[in-house]
Copies of this chain bind each other. A is one copy, B any other.
Amino acid sequence: MEKRAVKTKIKNEELIDRRRKQIIDGAIKVFTAKGFHKSTVREIAKEAGLTMGSLYNYIASKEDIIHIVYDYITRVLREEMSKAIAGIEDPEERLKAALYQNLNAVYKNQEIIMFIYKESASLDKKSLHTVLARETDYIELFEELLRERFKGQDVNEERLRLAADLLPYIPVIMTFRRWSLKRRFESMDNVMEGILDFVLKGIESIPEKMNALKNDERK
C-alpha cells in the first residue's frame, strides 16, 4: 500500500475514501472538459457534490486534486493490466494481451489520459518524479514481456529497451488523432487491430542487427 501523500483534516478513513472518490469523479468531469487551469475549485466541489469548505477538508490545495486523480487512474490501469495478462503462459500471447489491454484502456479513458499528459506540466518537480516512476513501472512490464517473447534469440538490448519505451505510448497517438481516425475508419476496432499489427511488426526490429541509415547519410 502506498501512504496517503495528500493531507486531510478528516480522521474517518472510510469517509476519506468515499469523499475522495466523489472528488475524483467530479474533477475528471471538470478537468477533461476545461483543463486544469480553467477549472475552478468551486466547480469541482459542486460536481463532486461537496461545498467549498468540505472539499478543502479532504485536500490541501487545488494541485492535490491532480494527484488523487492521477493516483486513481494509474491504480485502475495497473489493476486492469494485471487481470488482462493473468494466467496467460505463452509469451507471444501474453505480449499481445498486454498490448491489446493497453490499447483498450487508453481508448476507454482517452479524455482523462489526455488530461494527464497535458497537465503533467502543472505538477511540481517532486510530484513529476513520482509520476514518472509510475510510468517506469509500466515500461518495465513491457520490457519484461518483450524479453520473454524473444527469449533464446539474440536480441539487441538497446532496441529492446527502446521498444519498451515506445510500446505503451503508441496507443496515445490514437487519442491525439481520434477525430481524424473516427472519420476514416469503420470502427475503432479496426484501428486497434491495425496498430497491433504495426507494433508487432515493428518489434521484429529487435532481434535483427540491421541499420537503417549509414552514418554518412546523416548531417
A139 contacts the other chain (Cβ, under 8 Å)?
Answer: yes
A21 to chain B, nearest CB (A): 25
A10 to chain B, nearest CB (A): 12
Given contacts A196-B213, A198-B166, contact A35 B122 (CB under 8 A): yes
Main secondary structure of the interface of A (DSSP, over half): helix
A56 contacts the other chain (Cβ, under 8 Å)?
Answer: no
Number of chain copies forming the complex = 4
Bound-state Cα–Cα, A117 to B139, Å:
22
How many residues does chain A have at the interface if contact means C-beta atoms less than 8 Å apart? Answer: 55
Given contacts A37-B37, A170-B170, A189-B218, contact A212 B196 (CB under 8 A): yes
Which residues from chain B contact A194 at a C-beta distance below 8 Å? Answer: 158-159, 162, 205
- Whether B189 and A212, one on each chain, are in contact in the complex, defined by CB atoms closer than 8 angstroms, is no
Which residues from chain B contact A212 at a C-beta distance below 8 Å? Answer: 96, 193, 196-197, 200
A76 contacts the other chain (Cβ, under 8 Å)?
Answer: no
- Among B120, B165, B191, B204, the residue within 8 A (CB) of A177 is B165
Bound-state Cα–Cα, A180 to B140, Å:
12
- Whether B121 and A35, one on each chain, are in contact in the complex, defined by CB atoms closer than 8 angstroms, is yes
- Whether B166 and A195, one on each chain, are in contact in the complex, defined by CB atoms closer than 8 angstroms, is yes
Which residues from chain B contact A120 at a C-beta distance below 8 Å? Answer: 118
**Knowing that A118-B119, A201-B205 are A-B contacts, what are 5 other residue pairs whose CB atoms are under 8 Å apart, sorted by A's residue number?**
A118-B120, A132-B179, A169-B177, A189-B218, A197-B211
**Can you list 9 A-B contacts (CB < 8 A)?**
A114-B121, A158-B185, A158-B190, A159-B197, A159-B198, A162-B185, A163-B198, A193-B212, A196-B212
